Structure formats: structure tokens, C-alpha cells
């Protein structure tokens, strides 16, 4: 397998311009001749489908939800980054580029990250034109706030509902094209296989979830925008339906899966309340603009009412450890700091797995009305879940799985190693390295969909001789048979244990052993336990009903089966990366002060895995990360 990034030549700031200047074009009349499949309707998929259809391509859009508006992008809260420098506080494209590269612990491709920072400025203009109601200052100008890992205010926001408003903008653009007939929408359909013929992606096989029908669709290119795999851990901030199936099935068809061990733990989530939970709830990182993170200095005070603990007896851990960034230190280091104090028996709340996020000083300084205006919906959500009033006592928060930086490998053109398979948004690996900065997920999804893919896909069509393939070919028939056989295999087990129980078990294995910290021993243990659990799953899973109608249990079982395979790949990647970087923290590799210790000599590369068959060790390939324009240094936020 050859991993060629295909980055344009020339100075960093000119690469994207050079690409656009030299790209081959498709005439407007000829665009109607090309069909594009887009899997997923979140910010990346929705914006891509709308833009490609607006350009004139025939677009087939698929989502497993009952409406594109229910994509998980809608749950994003805090904001979207862009290097507009409206605050005149020193921001620039170069600074956003550097912050993103440093935030990812220098494990991302320079050219891709710079392009992301460069096109970020256009995203805000696009969204404002769509009517996205960004927060504004008293004089009417767009407002900004700060997020972790940055010393400037570059985050645009819609109170605590930014993802919802951005998704509605992309959805209305999609709806216009659906009405015009340029997008054909297939809701309640789940992609279950990728059809590859002669090394080229030719289409997909889906199951219509309401009828059980298996159907194939062909196209000249397939775009995957199916999101990340946080739900491999069972408990995460992701919606229950989020899964790895689409990208994992593409992996099994030959697509390289890059850096699966790069997972992001978000530091501000409502702590686990008990074994009954099926997901966790995010509290936006924006809250750390005004909230202060602390725990009692003395373990004997953890059971006290936090308002009764004197100021001198409080440990403001992030302000103490990272004075230059304080409570806005990046997510990975903030999460590990919270874990350390909880491991010292200074955690608060049930089970001692929580720290306080305190707004008393902000309310005193700005007034409760101001705080309600900024974060009111988040405070209301917190109270509905915990029955605690965060205006009167500190919130309790603890880190949880939130985002995944790993994904299918792509080059500068956003194309995987399979010709004609493009991957965008969280489904690919390209822009965030080993740790994503807050408010950058929405930026990447919209950058890929609105401003990058329309150029690179057009260049691909203009440069490639394509024959429209019919779904009657043997490759499509074989893929349909493969999907049908797997579904029937799940139904035939007739065991006694639900897929949800297996999901909870594999999630706990991965969280306990390949979670916020990992070791060689825990990674090996995770692999062994996952293999045992997977064998049991195929002997004892219970899937009621049939495949010819709506069967939620069957859907879940198929997704859990993929988690049981993918979890082993995640652990194997963590085992073979003998360093600590960003969200990948191997306890054997840390500095004297407990921070991550990189090994640039041996691991300054992207690890991309090639499927070798069931129960076979995947082949590990590498793409060397060469830094021509940035001088790598030890990552510090102190």
C-alpha cells in the first residue's frame, strides 16, 4: 500500500492556491453526467451534498436517521473557529494553523492544517449569508469567545446551540437542492458495504431500515461523511446511533484506517451516575471561559457542600498547572489533570469521579443575567439532568469520550487510498493530529464540505477516465450476498444476551484499558478480552424478529459486531505506538511532570492499517510527517 499525500509544491501559504490554479475543471454541462454518493448528512455530508448539487452534479444522499436534521452535528454546543481577528487580539491564519498543529501535538500533516486555517475565514461568511444566527455584540458585530488551546478569541457561536444552527443552514441548502431534483435523499438507509471494482470505489450496498430491503447504488465517486467512532467506548457524548460501521466496512474493502488510537476525552461532561446510563452529556467547553475548575485540597473535604469549602482549601488545578492558559488549557491535558486529582481521592460526587466547575466569581463579576445570556440553555440542561442549580453551587464535571481524531486515511485531495473514495469530516483522520482543539470539528466539517471537496472532486472527475458501472455486475452481487449473509448470521445465533449488553462490556474493556491512559499491558489485555468477547458474541447474541421489516435490535447487533472488531484495531494501534502524544497517553512515556512524552525520532508519522482478513493482525503502514515550516517543540501550556 502506498500512502502518497499528494500535497502541492511551493510555499505553505500558496499550496491551496496553487492547487486551485492548476486543477483540471469540469464544464457546467458535463457536471450533470457525474453521479456522487454522499454517506452521512451532518455538517460535512450536508454541506458537501448541497454544494456539489448546486454545482450541477447528480447527488445521492444517505442517512440512517429519519431526517438529515437529526445528524449528530446538531448536538455541538460551543462554537466554530475562524481566523477573522474581529477582536484585533493578534489572531491570523498563521496563528490558527500553529495552534491547531501544536494542539495536535505535531502529529498532523502541515499542508492540510494550513488549508483548514486558510478557508476558515470563508466559512463564517457562508453561514452568515445562510442566516445562521451567530451571537452579536451590542453594536451588531459578530461576537467571539475563547476556547481551549488558544490565547485569542476566535470562536463564533450561537449561544450553546452552534451545531444545531449550522446544521440547519446546511440542511436548508440541501432541501433547496432536493426540491430542485439535484439531490435524491434516502433517509432511514444504512450503508453496510462499499463496492470496489478493479481498485476503484463504484458504489455502496444499503439496507432500508423500515422494510429490510437490501439495495445497491452506483456512482462515479463515493463520499463518506459518517462521523467518528466514540461509541466504541459505549458511554460517550455521541448519540446512541453513532457507529463505526460505514468506515469499518470500507476498511475491510481495502481503505487504510489511520491512527485509530487517537481518541479525544472531553474534560467537561456530566459525570456517570450509574450502570443504567446509555450515554453521557456534554457541557460545552465554552463554559471554561467563565467557570473555574477546582477540587478540595484535602481528601477529607470531598463530601462537604462545595459552598462551605473555604477559598484557601480549594485547588484550582488548571490555573495552578497551566498559568498561561488556565481553565482554557487543551482538552487532553485538562482531562488528565482531572483524572490525576480523582486518582488522589480528591474527586467529588458519586464514586469520587468529578471535579467542580464554579461560576461564582463570574456571576459576582458580571451578574447572573449576563451568565444566563451566555450559557442559560446549558445551565438548564445541567439542572434537568442532575437536579442541581449551577447558579447556586458549582457544576460537577468529569472527562468523557467525545470525538475521534483517527479515521480513514486521506491525501491532500481528501481521497482515500481507494480510487474514487473520498472521506470528509470526522470520518477522516487528516487535520487534528493526536488532539483536536475545541470548536475545530465544526470548522473542519464545513471546510471539507463547502470549500475543499468541490474542488478536489472536480479535479478527480476531470483527470480520470470513468465508466458508469451498473449494479448488475458481479462485484455488486457479491457485496449484496455478503451483506445478506451477515444479517442472517446474526439472526441465526438465537442466543440469550442482548447486543446492548455486549456493547456495554466491550466499551468498558476499551475505556478501562485504552481510555485516558494506556500501557503495553493494558493494551494487550484489551486485545485478549475483546477477542474472547467477540467469540462469545457470535455464539450467544440474541436478535429477535426478522430482517424484512423495521428491526432496531438487528441494526444495533450489526453495529456492535463492528465495534467488537474495531475495538481490537484501536487497541493494537495504541500498543504499537510507543510514545505519548495528545490524547494517546502511554504511561510508560511521560515527562517528569506527568506530561506526554513524544518520540519524534521513531513516531513522527501517521500509522495507517490495512485489513488482512478476519482474526489476522492488520498490516501497519506509515506516512512520514515532515515539518518544513514549523519547528517542533515540546508541547507546553504552562
Say yes or no: 214 and 242 in one domain.
yes
Contact (CB, 8 A) for 625 and 607: no
Q: Is residue 27 part of a domain?
A: no
pLDDT at 159: 87
Residues 563, 459 share a domain = no
pLDDT for res 470: 86
Which of 33, 38, 65, 67 is closest to 51 using CA atoms?
A: 38
Is the pLDDT at 602 greater than 80? The verdict is yes
CATH number of the domain residue 357 falls in:
3.90.700.10
Residue 420 bridge partners (DSSP): none
Residue appearing with cell numbers 512524552: 597
Which backbone phi and psi does 442 adopt, to 5 degrees?
-65, -35
Instruction: Render pLDDT for 382-405 as a digit per residue (tens, 0 to 9).
Output: 999 999 999 999 999 999 999 999
Q: Please report, to the nearest 10 degrees, the dihedral formed by the alpha carbons of residues 300, 305, 310, 316 taken in order.
A: 80
Q: What is the largest CA-CA distance in the chain?
A: 74
496 labelled catalytic: no
Pair 211, 304 in one domain = no
The answer on 185 and 162 residing in a single domain is yes
Does the residue 2 lie in any domain? no
Please report which helix (H) or strand (E) contains residue 207, including its range.
Answer: strand 200-208
Question: Are 478 and 559 in the same domain?
Answer: yes
Specify if 81 maps to a domain.
yes
Confidence band of 502 (pLDDT split at 50, 70, 90): very high
Q: What is the CATH number of the domain that holds 490?
A: 1.20.58.100
| Residues 489 and 432 reside in one and the same domain | no
**CA–CA separation, 631 and 612 (whole Å):** 37
Give CA separation, 47 vs 25, 225, 416, 425, 450, in Å.
21, 10, 20, 10, 6
Q: Is 317 helix (H, G, I), strand (E, B) or coil?
A: helix
What is the reported pLDDT for 467?
84
Average pLDDT value over all residues in the chain = 97
Q: What is the DSSP secondary-structure string of 106-136?
A: S-S-HHHHHHHHHHHHHHHHHHHHHT----B
- Residue 149 pLDDT exceeds 90: yes
> Which of left, alpha, beta for 560 (phi over 0: left; psi -120 to 50: alpha)?
alpha
Candidates 614, 526, 635; CA nearest to 261 is 526
d(CA 364, CA 584): 38
Q: Report whether pLDDT(603) > 90.
A: yes
Which of 367, 383, 401 is the last residue before a domain boundary? 401
Residues 72 and 219 in one domain: yes
Residue 271 lies in a domain: yes
Asked if residue 312 and residue 228 are part of one domain, the reply reads no
Start-to-end CA span in the chain (Å): 41
Let me know how long the chain is: 638
* pLDDT band per the 50, 70, 90 thresholds, residue 530: very high
Instruction: Tell me the per-residue pLDDT of 537-579, one tens digit each, with 9 for 90 and over.
Output: 999 999 999 999 999 999 999 999 999 999 999 999 999 999 9
DSSP annotation string for 394-445:
-EEEEEEEEEE--EE---TTSB-SSBTEEE-GGGB-SSSTTSPPTT-HHHHH
pTM of the prediction?
0.97
Structural domain contains residue 79: yes
Distance, CA of 622 to CA of 611 (rounded, Å): 14
Cell of 144: 467571539
pLDDT of 111: 97
Domain extent, residue 385, equals: 266-401
Of the candidates 332, 514, 510, the one whose C-alpha atom is nearest the C-alpha of residue 433 is 332
The mean per-residue pLDDT over the stretch 160-189 comes to: 97
Structural domain contains residue 411: yes
> Does residue 345 form part of some domain?
yes
Q: How far apart are CA 62 and CA 314, in angstroms?
A: 51
The Cα-based distances of 54 to 51, 59, 203, 451, 632 in angstroms read 5, 10, 22, 13, 41
Task: Say if residue 41 is in the same domain as residue 153.
Answer: yes
The confidence score (pLDDT) of residue 630 equals 94
CA distance 302 to 386: 18
**CB atoms closer than 10 angstroms to residue 175:** 17
pLDDT of residue 276: 86
* Chain segment 103-139, per-residue pLDDT in tens: 999 999 999 999 999 999 999 999 999 999 999 999 9
CA–CA gap between residue 126 and residue 493 (Å, rounded): 51
How much is the pLDDT for 274? Answer: 84
pLDDT value at residue 607: 98
Q: What is the pLDDT of residues 32-56, one digit of tens each?
A: 999 999 999 999 999 999 999 999 9
Sign of CA pseudo-dihedral 294, 295, 296, 301:
positive
CA dihedral sign, ordered 323, 324, 327, 330? negative
Q: Is the dihedral of CA 281, 287, 291, 297 positive or negative?
A: positive
Picking from 439, 463, 487, the residue at the C-terminal end of a domain is: 463
* Pair 65, 85 in one domain: yes
Q: Which of 94, 151, 290 is nearest to 638 (CA)?
A: 151
Task: Give the chain's domain count.
Answer: 3
> 468: pLDDT confidence band, cut at 50, 70 and 90?
confident
- Per the domain annotation, does 534 fall within a domain? yes
Q: Are residues 459 and 482 in the same domain?
A: no
Same domain, 211 and 293: no
Of the chain, the percentage scoring pLDDT greater than 90 comes to: 97
Catalytic residue chosen out of the listed positions 109, 154, 331, 559: 331
| Cα–Cα nearest to 451, from 7, 24, 42, 44 | 44
Give the CATH number for residue 455: 3.50.50.60
Amino acid at each position: 500500500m502506498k500512502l502518497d499525500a499528494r500535497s502541492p509544491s511551493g510555499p505553505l501559504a500558496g499550496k491551496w492556491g496553487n492547487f486551485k490554479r492548476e486543477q483540471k475543471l469540469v464544464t457546467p454541462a458535463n457536471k450533470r453526467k457525474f453521479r456522487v454518493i454522499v454517506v452521512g448528512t451532518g455538517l460535512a455530508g450536508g454541506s458537501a451534498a448541497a454544494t456539489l448539487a448546486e454545482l450541477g452534479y447528480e447527488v445521492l444522499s444517505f442517512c440512517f436517521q429519519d431526517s438529515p436534521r437529526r445528524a449528530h452535528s446538531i448536538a455541538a454546543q460551543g462554537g466554530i473557529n475562524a481566523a477573522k481577528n474581529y477582536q484585533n487580539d493578534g489572531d491570523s491564519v498563521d496563528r490558527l494553523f500553529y495552534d491547531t498543529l501544536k494542539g495536535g501535538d505535531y502529529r498532523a500533516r502541515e499542508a492540510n492544517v494550513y488549508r483548514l486555517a486558510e478557508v476558515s475565514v470563508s466559512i463564517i461568511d457562508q453561514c452568515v449569508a445562510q442566516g445562521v444566527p451567530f451571537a452579536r455584540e451590542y453594536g451588531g458585530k459578530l461576537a467571539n469567545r475563547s476556547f481551549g488551546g488558544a490565547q485569542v478569541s476566535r470562536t463564533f457561536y450561537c449561544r450553546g446551540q452552534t451545531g444545531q444552527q449550522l446544521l440547519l443552514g446546511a440542511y436548508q441548502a440541501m432541501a433547496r437542492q432536493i426540491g430542485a431534483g439535484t439531490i435524491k435523499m434516502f433517509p432511514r438507509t444504512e450503508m453496510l458495504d462499499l463496492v470496489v471494482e478493479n481498485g476503484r470505489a463504484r458504489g455502496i450496498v444499503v439496507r432500508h431500515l423500515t422494510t429490510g430491503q437490501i439495495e445497491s447504488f452506483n456512482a462515479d465517486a463515493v463520499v463518506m461523511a459518517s462521523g467518528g467512532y466514540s461509541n466504541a467506548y459505549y458511554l460517550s457524548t455521541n448519540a446512541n446511533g453513532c457507529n463505526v460501521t460505514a468506515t469499518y466496512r470500507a476498511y475491510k474493502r481495502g481503505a487504510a484506517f489511520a491512527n485509530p488510537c487517537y481518541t479525544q476525552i472531553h474534560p467537561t461532561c456530566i459525570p456517570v451516575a450509574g450502570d443504567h446510563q446509555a450515554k453521557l452529556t456534554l457541557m460545552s467547553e465554552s463554559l471554561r471561559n467563565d467557570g473555574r475548575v477546582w477540587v478540595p485540597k484535602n481528601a477529607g473535604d470531598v463530601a462537604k457542600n462545595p459552598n462551605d469549602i473555604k477559598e484557601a482549601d480549594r485547588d484550582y488545578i488548571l490555573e495552578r498547572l497551566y498559568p498561561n492558559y488556565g481553565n482554557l488549557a487543551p482538552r487532553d491535558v485538562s482531562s488528565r489533570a482531572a483524572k490525576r486529582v480523582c486518582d488522589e481521592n480528591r474527586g467529588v460526587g458519586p464514586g469520587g469521579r468529578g471535579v467542580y466547575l464554579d461560576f461564582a466569581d463570574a456571576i459576582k463579576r458580571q451578574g447572573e443575567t449576563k451568565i444566563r445570556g451566555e450559557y442559560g440553555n446549558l445551565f438548564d440542561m445541567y439542572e434537568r439532568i442532575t437536579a442541581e442549580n449551577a447558579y447556586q453551587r458549582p457544576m460537577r464535571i468529569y472527562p468523557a469520550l467525545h470525538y475521534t481524531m483517527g479515521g480513514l486515511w486521506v491525501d491532500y485531495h481528501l481521497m482515500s487510498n481507494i480510487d474514487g473514495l473520498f472521506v470528509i469530516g470526522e470520518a477522516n483522520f487528516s487535520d487534528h493530529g493526536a488532539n483536536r482543539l475545541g470548536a475545530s470539528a465544526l470548522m473542519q466539517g464545513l471546510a471539507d464540505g463547502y470549500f475543499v471537496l468541490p474542488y478536489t472532486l472536480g479535479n478527480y472527475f476531470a483527470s480520470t477516465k470513468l465508466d458508469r458501472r451498473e449494479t448488475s455486475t458481479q462485484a455488486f452481487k457479491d457485496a449484496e450476498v455478503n451483506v445478506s449473509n451477515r444479517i442472517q448470521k446474526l439472526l441465526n445465533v438465537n442466543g440469550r444476551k442482548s447486543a446492548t449488553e455486549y456493547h456495554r462490556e466491550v466499551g468498558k474493556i476499551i475505556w478501562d484499558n485504552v481510555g485516558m491512559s494506556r500501557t503495553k499491558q493494558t493494551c494487550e489485555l484489551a486485545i485478549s478480552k475483546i477477542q474472547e468477547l467477540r467469540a462469545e458474541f457470535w455464539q450467544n447474541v440474541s436478535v429477535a424478529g426478522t430482517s424484512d421489516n423495521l428491526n432496531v435490535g438487528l441494526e444495533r447487533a450489526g453495529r456492535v459486531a463492528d465495534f467488537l472488531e474495531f475495538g481490537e484495531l484501536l487497541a493494537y494501534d495504541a500498543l504499537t505506538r510507543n510514545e505519548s502524544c495528545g490524547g494517546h497517553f502511554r504511561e510508560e512515556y511521560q515527562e517528569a511532570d506527568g506530561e506526554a512524552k513524544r518520540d519524534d525520532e521513531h513516531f513522527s508519522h501517521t500509522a495507517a492499517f490495512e485489513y488482512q482478513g478476519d482474526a489476522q493482525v492488520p498490516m501497519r503502514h506509515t506516512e512520514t510527517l515532515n515539518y518544513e515550516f514549523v519547528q517542533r517543540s515540546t508541547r507546553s501550556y504552562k
